[in-house]
Structure 1
Amino acid sequence: MTRWRHVRTERLWLDEPADGDAAALFTIHHDPASWRHFPAGRVTDPAAGTTMVGASRRRFDRDGLAYWSVRDAEDGPVIGRGGCALPDEAIEADVTGRGWWNLYYRLDQRVLGRGYATEMGQAAIRAAREVSPERPVLAYLLEHNVASRRTAERLGMRLAWRGADAGNADADAVRLVFLDREPDDVLVAALAVEGMAAAGLVG
């Protein structure tokens, strides 16, 4: 399965993460500004970059698709991480038996506002629909993260579920689930599973 390991869009190079990407991936995920909507999600372990590289590699091998390292110049520095992946937790929690693609995007704060998340997301959804079209694409985000919500909406995704964010230290936090399709009753039931917030599917 090699087709989606390296993707070129109009402005972006989307690649299976390489060992040399680990430091940049950690730096992006360690930046407090990247987590102002969900401070508890900030990555603090420097080994996390290496873990991200390994996780993507394993999922590309297993599922044919995973999160990419994002660049906006050929052989340029990593400016983000994103794409669609099939998290282990989603497979275990999903009562539909299909699992779901989790759409994720996190970019270096210095490149925000350029539309890169939308451009990357379009490629990710296209890839997910080719690799495993029966699996819905899910974007899981906090209601007060307006920029992330707008990205999901620009991608043509629709709000399918809204509820309390179980496990969030902020008792008033509201979690939104966007989907790339009209959900059936079984999928709606799966989205309402209380353990989803603890599954790490945050954006």
Structure 2
Amino acid sequence: MNVFIETERLIIRPLLATDCEGMFEMDSDPEVHRYVGNEPVKNVARIKEVIGMVRQQYEDFGIGRWAVIEKATNDFAGWTGFKYMTGPINKHSNFYDFGYRLARRFWGMGYATEAGKAALDYGIQTLNFKDIYAMTDIDNAASRRVLEKLGFNHIETFNYDAEPNWRTEGQPTTGYKWVGKF
């Protein structure tokens, strides 16, 4: 996977084994996982497994989440991009799920929107994706605002892992726990 996207403040590239420390900082933080529906990561071995799974997605589907690197510091800020979802979620299968996650120290800086816009543009313009979904917890107002800024429109609310979520609609297609369509 040879993705390399550059924005004013960020570099977006494939996840590498060297991203372990930054991913551990992000995914071991309970606040980062507040609306994600899973438990914070307890050890670096789990992060290595996750990076391995994402890298396998690059091989299997030609797509996967990408690292977001802050240019000024060369620090791992989080990830953005697409995941090909084969299993059913809210009656949808075989679709591109768009997402992002940042380490808490990078919140409130506009990085989610900046990285998200660059990743979406790449997915639509370079990869020719037509149907893109995104989801977020219905109570995650900050994530909903990012998705709306990126052009996602709410299409429905649904339960995911027994929690209410909502979905958006737009052009191409997108969805959330707060489900959105782009």
Q: Is the shorter-chain TM-score for this pair beyond 0.5, marking a shared fold?
A: yes
> Residues 54 and 70 (structure 1 numbering): CA distance in 2 closer, same or farther, change over 3 Å?
same
C-alpha deviation, 1:155, in angstroms: 0.3
Greater percentage in helix = 1
* Structure ranking higher in strand proportion: 2
| Pair 1:175 & 2:165 matched | yes
> How is 1:32-181 mapped onto 2 (pairs within 5 angstroms)?
32-38=30-36, 40-73=38-71, 76-86=74-84, 90-93=85-88, 99-129=94-124, 130-134=126-130, 136-163=131-158, 165-168=159-162, 173-181=163-171
CA offset digits 1:111-168 (Å, max 9, x no partner): 111111111111221222232423x1111111110000000000011111212x2434
Q: CA deviation at 1:27?
A: 1.9
Q: Is the partner of 2:101 in helix, strand or coil? A: strand
SS of corresponding position for 2:145: helix
CA distance in 2, matches of 1:30, 1:180: 34
Runs of 5+ consecutive residues of structure 1 not aligned to the other structure: 198-203
Cα gap change, 1:67/1:145 in structure 2, threshold over 3 Å: closer, same or farther? same
Per the alignment, do residues 7 and 182 of structure 1 end up closer, same or farther by CA in structure 2, a change over 3 Å counting?
closer
Q: From the superposition, tell whether residues 178 and 47 of structure 1 become closer, same or farther in structure 2 (CA, over 3 Å).
A: farther
Secondary structure at the aligned position of 2:166 is classed as strand
RMSD of aligned residue pairs (Cα, Å): 2.7
* Cα distance between partner residues in 1 of 2:160 and 2:106: 31
Any conservation in 2 of the 1:17–1:68 contact (CA below 8 Å)? yes
CA–CA distance in 2 between the matches of 1:127 and 1:47? 31
Asked if 1 retains the 8 angstrom alpha-carbon contact of 2:26 and 2:102, the reply is: yes
User: CA 1:132 to 1:47, structure 2 compared with 1: closer, same or farther past 3 Å?
Assistant: farther
Indicate if the aligned counterparts of 2:41 and 2:47 stay in contact, CA closer than 8 A: no
Structure 2 unaligned regions, length at least 5: 178-182
Matched residue, 1:201: none
For the structure 1 residues 70 and 166, does the alpha-carbon distance in structure 2 shift closer, same or farther, using more than 3 Å as the test?
closer
Q: Identity of aligned pairs, percent?
A: 23
Give the 3 Å change call, closer, same or farther, for CA 152–51 of structure 1 in structure 2.
same
1:32 to partner: Cα distance: 0.8
Q: Which residue of 2 aligns with 1:200?
A: none
The structure that has the greater radius of gyration is: 1
Residue by residue, what CA displacement relative to the aligned partner does 1:55-108 show, whole Å, maximum 9, x if unpaired?
22222233333211111126712111221121xxx22327777x2211111111
Q: TM-score, normalised by structure 2?
A: 0.82
